[in-house]
Structure 1
Amino acid sequence: MSTAQTQLAAASGLMSLVLFLIAVLLLAMLAGGFWMNSRIKYRESPRPRPDEQPHLPPDGAVHELQENREPDEIPQVPKGGRALTPYELTNMHTRTSENQERPRWSKGSSGSFGGGGLGAH
């Protein structure tokens, strides 16, 4: 090895000091993060005790209601009148349908286009 290569391969005292200071700085930042987190957690309200947890209502569990709904009719425009714009329609509400039978797909159909089934034959 030449003298130049030996000098380049030798650890520089200044470089070692810089790396050591960077490591100390990272450890100080990590410790500061833990300290800040503990201060934030100390200021939070305590966790609820078991007797403060939510309970079921007196009537029991709330169950899902399943029904068929139908939309309100769109207002008819009189002949020769101006068409309604979307903001004039407002929110369209729904109401309970008279027919509560669930719609079923035809036998042998997948129920959608390209569903992968054989289809009705």
Structure 2
Amino acid sequence: MSTASEQLAAASGLISLVLFLVAVVVLALLAGSFWFGARVKARESPRPRPEDQPHLPPEGAVHEIRENRESQEVPHVAKGERPLTPYELTNLQTRPSSDKTRPRWSKGSSGSFGGGGLGAH
């Protein structure tokens, strides 16, 4: 063997050793992370048992109530008086509507602005 080939062989052997050590370090880090994860999981509280899960109330399932709601009217200000500020308005509540029919959109309307329909013509 020539001197040049010996120097190349020595360098590649050193590179192989470095790569092997890097691989061993990576494997040690992975094994350590699994070990640490197992320790953390062991310290956590146990999973809830089936009897700890929520149950239906004794009177059975709660059902949805459908009703139409209407809001209170915004107070009107007489002509010449100063307008009300937002701070003078209270939280406007809703109450059940006497009308039991569900409101429907007009035929051919999507019911929203820019909904893509042809709109009411």
TM-score (norm 2): 0.69
- RMSD, matched Cα: 3.3
Partner of 1:44: 44
Deviation at 1:82, TM superposition (A): 4.7
Corresponding residue number in structure 2 for 1:65: 65
The aligned counterpart of 2:100 is: 100
In 2, Cα distance between the equivalents of 1:84 and 1:113? 29
Q: From the superposition, tell whether residues 120 and 24 of structure 1 become closer, same or farther in structure 2 (CA, over 3 Å).
A: same
Could you state the TM-score of these two structures normalised by the residue count of structure 1? Answer: 0.69
SS in 2 for 1:74: coil
- Structure 1 unaligned runs (5+)? none
Deviation digits for residues 15-53 of structure 1, max 9, x if unmatched?
Answer: 222222221121111111111111111111112222222
- Which aligned pairs between 1:5-44 and structure 2 lie closer than 5 A? 12-44=12-44
CA, structure 1 residues 4+65, in 2 after alignment: closer, same or farther (shift >3 Å)? Answer: farther
Equivalenced residues, count: 118
- Cα distance in structure 2, aligned partners of 1:4 and 1:83: 95
Kindly state the Cα deviation for residue 108 of structure 1 after the two structures are TM-superposed.
4.2
Output the CA distance in 2 between the equivalents of 1:73 and 1:4. Answer: 97
Q: Take 2:114 and 2:101, find their aligned partners in 1: how far apart are those partners?
A: 26
One-letter amino acid of the counterpart of residue 16, structure 2: S
> Relative to 1, partners in 2 of residues 1:71 and 1:12: Cα closer, same or farther, differing over 3 Å?
same
**What is the alpha-carbon distance in structure 1 between the residues aligned to residue 91 and residue 8 of structure 2?**
77
Partner residue in 1 for 2:85: 84
Report the Cα offset of residue 58 of structure 1: 0.8
Aligned residue for 1:12, secondary structure, equals helix
